[in-house]
């Protein structure tokens, strides 16, 4: 896997973890988020597991469904991604 693919996977995982954490923090089920965001349950499940890539429209829909700004969703994911990149710089073998 090349670096670009690996970073895409990391971004998917980070956004998914962030969506799940915010959903749970708000006490929403996946079904409730799916209805509020006008997305389907299997797709949100894939996002939360890092198995789907979110388009910007999907980010907007998720943010709306979570009652937050899309910027917050992206900012939080960006922080986690930066932490990942910093760890990689310190010890690349720890991420294999």
Mean pLDDT per 10-residue segment, the chain (96 residues): 70 90 97 98 97 95 96 82 80 58
Distance CA 43, CA 21 (A): 16
Per-residue model confidence (pLDDT) at position 2: 62
pLDDT at position 84 is 77
Q: What is the pLDDT of residue 63?
A: 96
| Contact between 46 and 68 (Cβ < 8 Å) | no
Which pLDDT belongs to residue 93? 60
Among residues 49, 43, 39, 42, the alpha carbon closest in space to that of 12 is found at: 49
CA-nearest of 43, 40, 36, 45 to 64 is: 36
Q: HSE-up of 33 (CA within 13 Å, CB side)? A: 28
**What pLDDT score was predicted for residue 74?**
87
pLDDT value at residue 90: 80
Whole-structure pTM value: 0.80
Residue 77 phi/psi, 5-degree rounding, is -65, -40
The 3-state DSSP class for residue 54 equals coil
For each of the domains in the chain, give its residue range(s) and CATH number, in order of start.
Answer: 3-85 (1.10.260.40)
């Amino acid at each position: 896997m090349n670096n670009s693919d690996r970073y895409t996977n990391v971004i998917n995982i980070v956004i998914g973890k962030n969506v799940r954490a915010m959903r749970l923090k708000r006490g929403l089920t996946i079904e409730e988020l799916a209805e509020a965001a006008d997305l389907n349950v299997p797709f949100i499940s894939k996002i939360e597991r890092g198995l789907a890539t979110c388009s910007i429209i999907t980010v907007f829909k998720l943010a709306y469904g979570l009652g937050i700004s899309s910027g917050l969703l992206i900012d939080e994911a960006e922080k986690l991604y930066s932490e990942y990149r910093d760890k990689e710089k310190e010890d690349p073998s720890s991420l294999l």
